[in-house]
Amino acid sequence: MKTGKLLAIFLLIFIFGCQINEASEAAIPEAISAESELLSYVFLKSNNPSLSADIAADISGPNIILTVPDHVNPEQLVATYTTRSAKSKLYVDDAEQVSSLTRNDFSSPVYYKLVTETGAAISFNVELNSYFPDLDLAARQVMQRYKIPGLSVAIVRNEKLVATKSYGYANIEQNELVKNNSKFRIASLSKPITAIAVLKLVQEGKLSLNDRVFGSRGVLQFDYGTPRPGSDIDKITVEHLLEHKSGWVNEKGDPMFMNFSSSQKELITDALLNKPLKYTPGTSYNYSNLGYCILGRIIEKVSGMPYAAYIRTEILLPSGITDMEIAGNTFEQHLPQEVKYYQNDATPYMYNISRMDANGGWVATATDLMKFMVRIDRNPSKQDFVLSSLLKRSYLGFLNWSHSGSLPGTSAMLTRLNDEFSFVVLANTRNEEQPLLVAEEINNAIKDVILQHQVWPDVDLFDNTSTTNLIQLAAQQEEVE
């Protein structure tokens, strides 16, 4: 049976290209913990008649989980809490809370802001009946081990979204928590999106995998200059770029992480005229961000549309994805709901990310990426963008595959585990010494949780109507166990 994993080797050149140790930054700041100011949090039987006993929270970190019986209506619960100072105040969506009086809807996580008497703000959320306590534990262990500020996870089973989980901080300084709609840079997870767009054009007869890219017979012809005679650059095909077999290598550094002021056209032209091929096209695998940048320009040439506009129109919107965008370069250019990125050894805001559009530029939520995944996974419930026969020309046709993405301040991994499960993990930091480590550790932990989990809910969180049912199922599981 054909299997495949695009893990460390697949991304080594990309990762090393990211490791330019300029503009070193201070260590990741410490967040103010909820337990330092929130002394207790409990649902009292006296305030919640449907309860048979008081239910108290174990306050540890910003994510608080309580277990309630399945017959309890989560939409009308009253919390009682105590704070270190009587002058501290709690808010939910800017509405001030009153202990033992304010009712809230806990059918989905409730996000609190605690404002101390000094004006310091502390964020935490309260969730009922986590259906995946094993996932919660695994995620928190990895986060503690590698000092990950924030993490987002989404799991699909049989093309239904069965879990979306968020942990930690989107912005430590502002005490903002990661939520399920938090957006992360996805780095090289942009490449499967670009690859599917190319294959879709092939399927529609507008492009061929065997089409040459440059020269008189090429898709791009002389848009980026004329290849030198005998250079073999005019023999590079679309499929060579998809498979990282163009013949270019990054002996003197990855051009996508150099000369930040240069345009895409200037980078491609420079490679065409001044960067000789190391290998004959099609003969040797060498991971190439530049190759996928060129694929982005092929999409533009064939479709007659800007790259991002084509992806939105032909891939994202048909998947039900409405707010994925190309990332900005600076923190000031961050998008609504986008997390802040943290890195001990280099600033995450020194690169020209927007120039990386087709090879590493997208920003997405975990749920967005699962909406994309179910349209490329060769399973029958949702129609794929591309026929299986074309997908099988690449790793996308393997039984299981993983694609990593990494930038300073970013770790990501998209995985097709088997015909039943797919999942994605996104984090807003990476390990300095081993850039793939964070993504791999989280990926392995979640894979183990999925394979060991016995009972799965018959829900689909893609439709946003299954949350209460999921809470009730979790309570039933708790009683069984």
- The pLDDT-based confidence of 130 (bands split at 50, 70, 90) is confident
Residues 67, 478: contact at Cβ < 8 Å? yes
User: Quick one: average pLDDT of 51-63?
Assistant: 90
Instruction: Map tokens 């700041």 to a residue.
Output: 29
Within 8 A by CB and 6+ apart from 101, the residues are 78
Quick one: average pLDDT of 123-139? Answer: 88
Residue 458's contacts (CB-CB under 8 Å, 6 or more residues apart) are none
**DSSP line for 275-308:** ---SS-TTS-----HHHHHHHHHHHHHHHSS-HH
Question: Mean pLDDT score of the chain, rounded to an integer?
Answer: 90
Using alpha carbons, list the distances in angstroms from residue 403 to 128, 406, 422: 32, 10, 12
**Sheet of 184-185, strands arranged across:** 184-185, 362-364, 325-326
* DSSP symbols for 178-222: P-TT-BEE-GGGHHHHHHHHHHHHHHTTS--TT-EEESTTEEEET
Give the C-alpha separation, 270 to 259, whole Å. 11
For residues 75 and 107, the answer to whether their CB atoms sit within 8 Å is yes
Q: What is the model's pLDDT at position 454?
A: 84
Where in the chain are the domains? 8-26+185-435
> What would the two tokens of residue 345 be?
């050894």
One-character DSSP codes across 459-479: --GGGT--HHHHHHHHHHHHH
Nearest residue to 383 (alpha-carbon basis) of 203, 232, 145: 203
Spatial distance between the Cα atoms of 307 and 326, rounded to a whole number of angstroms: 10
Can you name the residues that pair with 411 across neighbouring β-strands? 406, 427
Q: Is the pLDDT of residue 412 over 90?
A: yes
pLDDT at 13 exceeding the cut of 50 = no
Work out the average pLDDT over 5-19. 40
* CA pair distance 79, 100, nearest whole angstrom: 6
SS3 state at 143: helix
Give pLDDT, residue 22: 40
- What does the pLDDT read at residue 474? 52
Bridge partners (DSSP) listed for residue 363 = 185, 325
pLDDT above 90: percentage of residues in the chain: 78
Distance of CA 333 to the CA centre of its chain: 19
> What is the share, in percent, of the chain residues with pLDDT greater than 70?
91
Residue 8 has pLDDT above 50, yes or no: no
Q: Which tokens in the block code for residue 443?
A: 């990926």
Answer yes or no: is pLDDT of 198 > 70.
yes
Mention every residue, 6+ apart, whose C-beta is less than 8 A from residue 127.
63, 64, 65, 66, 106, 109, 110
Q: Dump pLDDT digits (tens) for 256-304.
A: 999 999 999 999 999 999 999 999 999 999 999 999 999 999 999 999 9
CA-based nearest residue to 127, from 73, 74, 54: 74
Confidence of residue 132 (pLDDT cuts 50, 70, 90): confident
If pLDDT is split at 50, 70 and 90, which confidence band does 480 have? very low
User: pLDDT tens, 204-246?
Assistant: 999 999 999 999 999 999 999 999 999 999 999 999 999 999 9
**Spatial distance between the Cα atoms of 333 and 335, rounded to a whole number of angstroms:** 6
Q: Which of 29-33, 182-186, 198-202 has the lowest mean pLDDT?
A: 29-33
When pLDDT is averaged across residues 156-167 and rounded to a whole number, the result is 96
pLDDT reading at 429 higher than 50: yes
Token pair belonging to 380: 């029958």
Other CB atoms within 10 A of residue 92 CB: 17
Stretch 29-45: mean pLDDT? 90
- DSSP strands (E only) in 99-207: 103-104, 110-115, 121-128, 150-157, 160-171, 176-177, 184-185
Q: What is the pLDDT of residues 314-366, one digit of tens each?
A: 999 999 999 999 999 999 999 999 999 999 877 899 999 999 999 999 999 99
User: pLDDT-derived band of residue 26, with 50, 70 and 90 as boundaries?
Assistant: low
Residue 258 CB burial class (10 angstroms; 0-12, 13-18, ≥19): middle
User: Do residues 320 and 371 make contact, with C-beta atoms less than 8 angstroms apart?
Assistant: yes
Looking at CATH, the fold of the domain delimited by 8-26+185-435 is given as Beta-lactamase (3.40.710)
Q: In the prediction, which pLDDT does 14 show?
A: 39
Model confidence at 54: pLDDT above 70: yes
pLDDT of residue 59: 86
CA dist., res. 58 & res. 65, Å (int): 8
What residues have CB less than 8 Å from 250, skipping those under 6 apart?
A: 13, 16, 17, 286, 288
Q: Give residue 36's pLDDT.
A: 87
Can you tell me the distance from the alpha carbon of 441 to that of 434, in angstroms, rounded to the nearest whole number?
A: 11
Q: For the segment 374-407, what is each residue's pLDDT rounded down to a tens digit? A: 999 999 999 999 999 999 999 999 999 999 999 9
Beta-sheet pairing, 121-128 with 63-66: parallel
pLDDT tier for residue 200 given thresholds of 50, 70 and 90: very high
